[in-house]
Amino acid sequence: MPRPLVATIEIAAMQHNLSVARQQGEGARIWGVVKANAYGHGLLRGMRGFAAADGLSLIEFDNAVCLREAGWRKPILMLEGCFDMADMVTASTYHLEPVIHCVEQIVLLEHAMREHLVKAPFDVHLKLNSGMNRLGLAPAAFQAAYARLRALPGMRHISLMTHFANADGPDNPALPLARQVGCFLKNTRHLDGTRSTANSAMHLLQSSQAADWARPGIMLYGASPGTRTAASIGLQPAMTLASELIAIQEVEAGDAVGYGSRFVATVPMRIGIVACGYADGYPRQAPDGTPVLVEGIRTRLTGRVSMDMLMVDLTPVPSAHVGSAVELWGTQLPVDEVATMSGTIGYELLCAVAARVRFEERSAVDALQLL
Ligand X SMILES: *Cc1c(COP(=O)(O)O)cnc(C)c1O
Query: Catalytic site residues?
Result: 35, 259
Chain residue at closest Cβ approach to ligand X? 217
Q: Which residues, 10 to 29, sit near ligand X by CB under 6 A?
A: none
Least Å from the CB of residue 305 to ligand X: 25
- CB atoms near residue 262 (< 10 Å): 14
Q: Which stretch binds ligand X (CB under 6 A): 11-19, 87-95, 215-223, 351-359?
A: 215-223
**Contacts of 327 by beta carbon, 8 Å cutoff, 6+ apart:** 240, 241, 242, 292, 293, 296, 333
Binder to ligand X among 225, 237, 281, 303 (CB under 6 A)?
Answer: 225
Q: Is 163 in the site for ligand X (CB under 6 A)?
A: yes
Q: Is 218 in the site for ligand X (CB under 6 A)?
A: yes
Phi/psi of residue 224, each to 5°?
-95, 140
Binder to ligand X among 46, 55, 81, 216 (CB under 6 A)?
Answer: 216
Binder to ligand X among 5, 28, 33, 124 (CB under 6 A)?
Answer: 33
Binder to ligand X among 79, 112, 310, 314 (CB under 6 A)?
Answer: 79
178 three-state secondary structure:
helix
**Contacts of 121 by beta carbon, 8 Å cutoff, 6+ apart:** 154, 155, 156, 157
Least Å from the CB of residue 206 to ligand X: 14
Binder to ligand X among 63, 130, 199, 224 (CB under 6 A)?
Answer: 199
Binding mask 99-138 for ligand X (x = CB under 6 A): ----------------------------------------
**Contacts of 195 by beta carbon, 8 Å cutoff, 6+ apart:** 159, 160, 161, 184, 188, 210, 211, 212, 213
Q: Is 75 in the site for ligand X (CB under 6 A)?
A: no
Q: Kindly determine how many residues on this chain lie close enough to bind ligand X according to the rule CB under 6 A.
A: 12
Q: Is 200 in the site for ligand X (CB under 6 A)?
A: yes
Q: Give the CA diameter of the chain.
A: 78
CB 57 within 8 A of CB 159: no
CA distances to 53, 242, 265 from 74, in Å: 9, 34, 57
Q: Which stretch binds ligand X (CB under 6 A): 111-119, 213-221, 288-296, 352-360?
A: 213-221
CB 296 within 8 A of CB 244: no
What are the E-state strand segments in the chain?
A: 6-10, 29-33, 55-58, 76-78, 97-100, 122-127, 155-161, 195-196, 213-214, 239-251, 256-257, 263-264, 269-274, 291-294, 297-300, 310-313, 325-329, 358-362
Binder to ligand X among 48, 195, 215, 304 (CB under 6 A)?
Answer: 215
Binder to ligand X among 40, 131, 217, 281 (CB under 6 A)?
Answer: 217
Least Å from the CB of residue 53 to ligand X: 13
Least Å from the CB of residue 226 to ligand X: 9
Q: Is 41 in the site for ligand X (CB under 6 A)?
A: no
CB 347 within 8 A of CB 281: no
Q: Which residues, 318 to 337, sit near ligand X by CB under 6 A?
A: none
Residues that bind ligand X (CB under 6 A): 33, 35, 79, 163, 199-201, 215-218, 225
